[in-house]
Amino acid sequence: MSPENTIAFENVSRFYGEVLGVNRVNLTVPPGVTSLVGPNGAGKTTLMNLMTGLLHPTEGQIRVLGISPQDTERLCRLVGYCTQFDAFPKGLTGYKFLYAFLRMHGMSHEECDQRTKRSLELVGLSEAANRLVGAYSKGMRQRVKLAQAIAHDPQVVILDEPLNGLDPMARAEAIALFRQWGEQGRHVIVSSHILHEVDQISDQVILLSQGYVVAEGAIQGVRSEVKDQPMQILVRCDRPAVLAARLFDQDHIVEARIQGDGRNLLLSTRDADSFYLLLNRVILDSGLQVESVAPADDDVNSVYQYLIGAEGSTV
Amino acid sequence: MKRLWIRQIAGVLRLELKRTAFSKRGWWIYCLAIGPVIVALLHWLIESHSHSVRHSLGEDSVVFAGMFLFFLRGSIFFGCMGIFTSLFRGEMLEKTLHYYFMTPLRRELLAAGKYLAGLVVALALFLPSVAATFLLLGRHFGAAWTDYLVHGPGLGQLGSYLLVATLACIGYGAVFLVCGLVYKNPMIPAAVVWVWEALNPFLPALLKKISILFYLKSLCPVEVPATPPFSVMVIEADPTSPWIAVPGLLAVAAILLIYAGISARQAEINYGE
């Protein structure tokens, strides 16, 4: 993939005095939705601030679509950033807040007006447009920040905990919006603590812990790289006991449990490929009727627990 | 069609004026601006009800010159400190500076736009205050005062005082803009500058010239004689010609603004979380 189409970190470190922010980060983020996952203090916000030029790296180099974050005039035309700071310039209505900062892009009054209205409509704030942002609820403030981040139609949208404070309906709408932007070929970088939502949103994840990138890539790929944890597979079939009996002969099987209505078999294996071969054999030998076979722990939550574990307890 | 940088500076100016002017937090700056006017108003009321003439018009002009120096060292100095240090540091405290930093705006233009906004507010507060104080102070002389203003040196003196006040806002504004950008606690460098400016009369001639107040005093139309016991400690220095003082002050302000632009370019958003 060309550097003009990726966000690239080359050996990037950032220290706050003697405190580590992120260390030796090497990443290439392709278009689509990428989630930054990690406990508090893992370095998610630092990474976002680095790629938006709000912080400078102590070492290393960053390129956002081929542009250095120090080149703010070019970068900020391509990047929208919804930070976690719940603060706004005083005395501005939702409309004026968006409009005033759009004017800095050099757009005409008509264009700023149009974009402001469109963005507010997209986040469902059209009716509250003329109310002071200071009088908004937390959810509305979160939405107006989202609207401000996307008002100039950026190619890269960076969202720090964007679902905080949103009600379930607004969360679902926001997630749909992120997915839509990702499908349009934009870079959508999201940090979130809510792992099941990360699962819904992400094309790829970046797991961070204590300033280091622990893993990156599509979540299934990351899971398959975690060799020291047996893979869990859920098989739904008519005779799980027959399958379980055959499994116990195998060295790579760690555990097998019949669950739920007696038709589910949850097993743990150190060698998923061998298990799938065996399953084929059992089906042929015993005429087993299999309804479904699915990995049970290739979601963000499981990978997070395996790689980061209890040190970074999260939702 | 206006150039992009003009639109951007105008955008910053609009936003900053909304933020800086008439903010509740700035109440003490309004008090600094209105204080001398109240003193002059009281002076006028007392003198106009008094039947005995206690002093001459010339003495009142010296009194104003003395008041004006206090005004420079007190009201304008601290007023500019309040206005200009908060342009960047205030936004850091309010956690709103990143909105500017995430626009395609050269940071140098941001510094310039903020400085202009601060200057507009400072001038809007302090110039009317200087003019009103000057006009009220001799008001009780009646027709003689009007004559002094229209046919005498009155209006010329007022013009000079307004010029000095403007230059003070320009100079101190640039100093405090840099303080607010470079220092986490701009009060410490501001205090150092204040002590340096306050010590100015007692410094050797060479050191006197490393000061904004020295050049401002050179431009004042009426000289204030030092009173005992301080007069023995005052070191006299030749006043600087206006042809050097005015461009000199503007040049110093320009250098400080360039430095502010460079600092703004290197600035990071670190709200201390």
Name the strand (E) or helix (H) holding A244: helix A240-247
Distance from CA of B58 to the nearest CA of A (A): 48
Q: Return the structure tokens found at B188.
A: 């410490």
What range defines the domain where residue B197 resides?
4-266
Pick from A16, A100, A104: which is nearest to B104 by CB?
A: A104
**Location of structure tokens 């950032």:** A14
Q: Running DSSP on this structure, what letter comes out for residue A155? A: S
Is B103–A83 a contact, with Cβ atoms under 8 angstroms apart?
no
- Amino acid A232: pLDDT: 86
User: What is the CATH class of A230-296?
Assistant: alpha beta
Is A75–B99 a contact, with Cβ atoms under 8 angstroms apart?
no
- Dump the DSSP string for B144-167: HHHHHHHTSSHHHHHHHHHHHHHH
Q: Name the residue with higher pLDDT: B182 or A200.
A: B182
**Rounded CA separation A283/A266 (Å):** 17
Those residues whose C-beta lies under 8 Å from the C-beta of residue A85, and which sit 6 or more positions away, are B95, B96, B98, B271
- Amino acid B233: pLDDT: 59
For residue B84, tell me if it sits in a domain.
Answer: yes
Q: Residues of B with CB below 8 A from A88's CB? A: 96
Please report, for chain A, the start and end positions of each structural domain, with discontinuous segments joined by +: 3-221, 230-296
Residue-wise pLDDT for A192-245, tens only, equals 777 777 777 888 989 888 899 988 888 777 777 777 778 888 999 999 998 998
Q: Phi, psi at residue A8, to the nearest 5°?
A: -120, 130
* Banded model confidence at residue B228, pLDDT cuts 50, 70, 90: low
For residue B273, tell me if it sits in a domain.
Answer: no
Q: Residues of B with CB below 8 A from A16's CB? A: 270
Q: Looking at chain A, which residue has its C-alpha nearest residue B265?
A: A70
- Amino acid A199: pLDDT: 77
A140 and B54 in contact (C-beta within 8 Å)?
no
- Whether A3-221 shares its CATH topology with A230-296 is answered no
- Dump the DSSP string for B84-100: HHHHHHHHHHHT-HHHH
Mutation for testing the A interface, residue in B4, B13, B103, B106 having most A CBs under 10 Å: B103
Number of H-type helices and E-type strands within chain B: 12, 0
Q: Phi, psi at residue A154, to the nearest 5°?
A: -75, 155
Q: Return the structure tokens found at A203.
A: 């094309």
Q: Is the pLDDT of residue B51 over 70?
A: no
- Buried b / exposed e across A39-48, counting CB within 10 Å, b at 16+? bebbbbbbbb
Residue-wise pLDDT for A15-48, tens only, equals 998 889 999 999 999 999 999 988 888 899 999 9
- Amino acid B224: pLDDT: 76
- Buried b / exposed e across B128-157, counting CB within 10 Å, b at 16+? ebbbbbbbbbbbbbeeebeebbeeeebeeb
Residue-wise pLDDT for A96-133, tens only, equals 999 999 999 988 899 999 999 999 999 999 999 999 99
Mean pLDDT of A292-296: 84
Pick from A83, A88, A103: which is nearest to B11 by CB?
A: A103
Name the strand (E) or helix (H) holding A8: strand A7-16
Q: Name the residue with higher pLDDT: A33 or B198.
A: A33
- Amino acid B104: pLDDT: 95
Q: Is B259 on the interface with A (CB under 8 A)?
A: no
Mutation for testing the B interface, residue in A104, A105, A108, A115 having most B CBs under 10 Å: A104
Q: Residues of A with CB below 8 A from B106's CB? A: 72-73
- Dump the DSSP string for A115-131: HHHHHHHHTT-STTTTS
Count of A-B CB contacts under 8 Å: 78
- Dump the DSSP string for A70-113: T-HHHHHHHEEEE-S-----TT-BHHHHHHHHHHTTT--HHHHH
Those residues whose C-beta lies under 8 Å from the C-beta of residue A178, and which sit 6 or more positions away, are A33, A157, A159, A162, A188, A190, A201
Is A74–B104 a contact, with Cβ atoms under 8 angstroms apart?
yes
Distance from CA of B89 to the nearest CA of A (A): 14
* Banded model confidence at residue A315, pLDDT cuts 50, 70, 90: very low
Q: Residues of B with CB below 8 A from A73's CB? A: 104-106
Q: Is B170 on the interface with A (CB under 8 A)?
A: no
Is B106–A73 a contact, with Cβ atoms under 8 angstroms apart?
yes
Q: Give the whole-number percent of chain A exceeding pLDDT 70.
A: 98
**Residue among B110, B114, B94 nearest B102 (CA):** B110
Is A104–B98 a contact, with Cβ atoms under 8 angstroms apart?
no
The long-range contacts involving B139-144, CB below 8 angstroms and separated by at least 24 positions, are B139/B44, B139/B48, B140/B43, B140/B44, B140/B47, B140/B48, B141/B57, B141/B60, B144/B57
Q: Looking at chain B, which residue has its C-alpha nearest residue A90?
A: B19
Those residues whose C-beta lies under 8 Å from the C-beta of residue A152, and which sit 6 or more positions away, are A77, A80, A102, A105, A107, A115
Q: How many domains does chain B have?
A: 1
Q: Residues of B with CB below 8 A from A52's CB? A: 102
Pick from A77, A83, A105: which is nearest to B98 by CB?
A: A83
**Rounded CA separation A89/B94 (Å):** 8
Pick from B7, B94, B96: which is nearest to A103 by CB?
A: B7
Those residues whose C-beta lies under 8 Å from the C-beta of residue A34, and which sit 6 or more positions away, are A187, A188, A189, A190, A202, A203, A204, A205, A206
Q: Give the whole-number percent of chain B exceeding pLDDT 70.
A: 92
For residue B271, tell me if it sits in a domain.
Answer: no
Q: Is the pLDDT of residue A314 over 50?
A: no
Determine which of A138-147, A163-172, B147-156 has the lowest per-residue pLDDT on average.
A163-172
- Amino acid A221: pLDDT: 74
Residue-wise pLDDT for A59-86, tens only, equals 999 999 999 999 999 999 999 999 999 9
Q: Give the whole-number percent of chain A exceeding pLDDT 90.
A: 52
**Rounded CA separation A151/A157 (Å):** 11
Compute the C-alpha angle B230/B193/B219, nearest 5°.
Answer: 65
Q: Which residues partner with A157 through β-bridges? A: A80, A188
Mutation for testing the A interface, residue in B4, B12, B102, B270 having most A CBs under 10 Å: B102
Which one of 3.40.50.1100, 3.40.50.300, 3.30.70.2660, 3.40.1710.10 gives the CATH number of domain A3-221?
3.40.50.300
SS3 B270: coil
Distance from CA of A157 to the nearest CA of B (A): 12
Query: What is the average pLDDT value for chain A, to the nearest integer?
Result: 89
**Rounded CA separation B99/A82 (Å):** 10
Is A106–B18 a contact, with Cβ atoms under 8 angstroms apart?
no
Is B8–A56 a contact, with Cβ atoms under 8 angstroms apart?
no
Mean pLDDT of B122-149: 91
Q: Return the structure tokens found at B2.
A: 């206006």
Distance from CA of A74 to the nearest CA of B (A): 6
Interface residues on A facing B, Cβ-Cβ cutoff 8 A: 16, 49, 52-56, 72-77, 79-81, 83, 85, 87-92, 100-101, 103-106, 148
The separation between CA B44 and the C-alpha centre of its own chain, rounded to angstroms, equals 25
